[in-house]
Each structure stands twice: as structure tokens, then as C-alpha cells.
Amino acid sequence: MELKVDHTPEEALEQIKNKNYKLRFQGKLAEKKVTVKKILGIGISYDRRTKKHSCQVEWL
């Protein structure tokens, strides 16, 4: 999950993909090997001007 202020949820999801956040759940960076079949990416954005948020969810 990535939270962005004054950006889009798509930009948050792009950061998740570019920085390989899913590796932590696939056991590549964690000390204990874990088998994970599906990983969900969640990008959330908050607009300070309108005080509204939006969200996008995607399988990684």
C-alpha cells in the first residue's frame, strides 16, 4: 500500500511496482521464506485542496 498527497493513485501504484514492494511478501527480502500466491497493490491519494481521497487496487 502506498499513500500519496496531491498525486494520483496511479502514481502510488507505479511507485509500488518500481520499488518492488512485493518482494517483501515473496520472501526475497524477508528472513523467513514465505509462499504467497497473490499480492494486492493499493494506491491511495489525498487532495489537500478538495479534502477528498481516491483509491485504486490492482493485483501485482
Query: In this structure, are strands 40-47 and 2-5 parallel, antiparallel, or unpaired?
Result: parallel
Round to the nearest angstrom and report the end-to-end CA distance of the chain.
Answer: 11
Residue 42 has a pLDDT of 96
- Read off the pLDDT of residues 2-59 as tens digits, 9 standing for 90 and up: 999 999 999 999 999 999 888 777 665 556 666 667 889 999 999 999 999 999 999 9
Q: In the chain, what are the domain boundaries?
A: 2-59
pTM of the full structure? 0.77
- Are 2 and 11 within 8 A, CB to CB? no
